[in-house]
Structure 1
Amino acid sequence: MKITFWGVRGSVPTPLSPQQIQSKIMAAIQRAKPEDLENSETRAKFISTLPQWIFGTTGGNTSCVELVHNKTHIILDAGTGIRALGKARKCPDKYYLFFSHLHWDHIHGLPFFDHCFNQDCQFEVYSHYEQAEQYLRDQVKVPYSPPDVVQALSKKFNFHTVEEGKQFEIEGIKVNSHRMRHPGGCSAFSFEIDGKKFVYATDVELKSTDYSKPQKGGEVFKNANAIVIDSQYTVEEVYRKENWGHSAFCYAIDFAVYWNIKKVYLFHHEPAYDDKKLNSILQAARWYAQYINHSDVEVNLAKETQEITL
């Protein structure tokens, strides 16, 4: 299966500001030597050596992750990242659309997803909300959206309510779910096929008790090949923002170790953090994994357009 990140921010979309772009340019200039700028070849080589936080960007769109296996197309959440997905992909005959929960940053991209307006495309929508259809209709009804958006979203959308811990299959892919600690609730989902398991676990406030005793959710988390997990805060912020529903990066590492998950993708990034700050969090997370003697855990920062193949 191939996983692509289209939106990785939490709470609100966060486009690069002019000041952030200027800071990147200044950081690049400060690193340049005269010989780096002699010709196009040396300039290209110099650019290739710049840290990712200078040369690229983590991205500012809210949560949206795509999973593709053969001709099966699955979308996890519909934050603003789903708009970019619609621009980059040809429309398939069917999408399986999963919602972890229905907070705005996970649904507000849906009316801007081009494929919603393709009447030849069918959507199978999954969540733990029995009233998901009504909730999604409410966000696009007049006066919040033009009438044609409501009309488009009323066609070829079939809604399914998921039962926690009850496994089901989508075109041979085994799907499991587990409710997470988050204000209003949130669900993690696992997708397993051909011996590979991928877990999507955004918006969760992990506690120390999650690692101190046997926990439910083994079918979802245990021995997964990769997990995308909420790591919005630093440890200091977690204490200041208790019950806000998000976790620190070190808790995400502990969680992966507890469930024997080897690849961690830090996700749902704090909108106040620029690329330099997020890079420092990634380095701290990798250091922490070594500190607890689990350097075998591969720690990555989820970035827009990044692809994973399992």
Structure 2
Amino acid sequence: MKVRFWGVRGSIPTPPTSEQIRQKVLRMLEKAAVRDISSQAKREAFINEFEDWEVGLIGGNTSCVEISTKDTLLIFDMGSGMKRLGDYLIKKHSSEGKIKAHIFINHTHWDHMQGFPFFVPAYGPNSELHFYAVHENIEKRINDQQDFRFFPVGLDIMLSKKYFHQIEHKSNVQIDDFTITNLELHHPGKSYAYKVTHNGKSAIYATDAEYNNLSKERMLGYIDFYQNADLLIFDAQYSFIEEIQKVDWGHSSALVGVDIAIKANVKRLGLFHHAPENDDFEIHKLLSIAQEYRKNNYPGNQLEIFIASEGLEIHL
């Protein structure tokens, strides 16, 4: 299965500022000043020495993750990144125009819903969209977002075939060769993690979650749910200090993610739901701190920690 990130920010879409772009250019120019970049080949080799986030962008769209195979498309959350996903799907299926998607909703705060009105496949009569949520009244929640007072096009005007599925907490959903199960997370209004299993591999989407002041029993439940995952997409919005200061805000940090991932024997930890206050340099600092923390506290452990960035693809 393929995992692709279309939106990785938390709270609100965060386009880069001119100053942030300027700082990236300055960093490259400083390094170029002592290098021979006289030819096109040398310039390309020089650029290729940088990490992707240094020459590109981590991304400013809010939560939207695709997990798919050739025949089946799962979408997790409908943040502003869903707009670009929709554009991609329209282009990919331009010949037949038939798009079928299964959309799983973590919770219905704005940053996880705001992309759906701009999801072009939802307007096509040949599109078939299935929505899954543990929360009640998911159709009404989506419809309320598109009340004429807030958006000019109502849900009933979008021509796609739409099906709404209320799922039980901790239940299994079988879609083709995928098994999807869920677990409640600690977040205002409740959010839900989803574990996706396919051909012996598992990916877990577990954003908008806080792990402070929870009972031992509940923490063990998370460790069990995340156990042996090939990929854990983890809410790392805060620094460790911010997490302590913002109790009950419903978010976590990269350091807590490292502790949980290692206890659960996770193979890859993706830092996700980046704070709108943090530019790419700040986010990379949090990654470096997490990697150093793992090295010092869990010597020899092979957990891979990375930044979830828009456009990143992982194959499991």
TM-score, normalisation: structure 2: 0.93
Within-5 A mapping of 1:180-259: 180-207=185-212, 209=214, 215-217=220-222, 220-259=225-264
- 2:285 & 2:79 partners in 1: Cα distance? 25
Point out where structure 1 has 5 or more consecutive residues left out of the alignment.
none
Question: Per the alignment, in what secondary structure is the counterpart of residue 171 of structure 2?
Answer: coil
Distance (whole Å) between structure 2 residues aligned to residue 152 and residue 95 of structure 1: 19
Offset of 1:33 from its aligned partner? 2.7
The 1:42/1:227 distance shift into structure 2, 3 A limit, reads same
Report the CA distance between 1:241 and its aligned residue: 1.1
1:183-237 deviation per Cα after TM superposition (whole angstroms, max 9, x unaligned): 1100000011211111000000112657788622566322111110100001110
Is structure 2 residue 32 aligned with structure 1 residue 47?
A: no
Give the counterpart of 2:163 among 142, 158, 164: 158
Gaps of 5+ in 2: none
The percent of aligned pairs where both chains have the same amino acid is 33
User: What SS is found at the alignment partner of 2:220?
Assistant: coil
4+ residue runs over 4 A deviation: 208-214
Superposition RMSD in Å: 1.8
- How far has the Cα of 1:240 moved from its partner? 1.4
> 2: distance between equivalents of 1:204 and 1:213?
13
Residue aligning to 1:33:
33
Cα deviation, 1:228-269, whole Å, max 9, x if unaligned, reads 010000111011111111001100111111211111000000
CA distance in 2, matches of 1:63, 1:266: 12
**Residues 249-304 of structure 1, C-alpha deviation per residue, up to 9 Å, x if partnerless?**
10011111121111100000011111111111111111111122153111011010
CA–CA separation in structure 2 for the residues paired with 1:298 and 1:45 = 26
Contact 1:176–1:220, Cα closer than 8 Å, also in 2: no
> Does the aligned pair in 2 maintain the 1:231–1:247 contact within 8 Å?
yes
Aligned to 2:124: 118
SS for the counterpart of 1:189 is strand
Aligned position for 1:301: 307
Distance 1:212 1:235, change over 3 A: farther
TM-score by length of 1: 0.94
Q: Return the letter of the residue paired with 1:296.
A: Q
- The aligned runs of 1:257-272 (5 Å cut-off) are 257-272=262-277
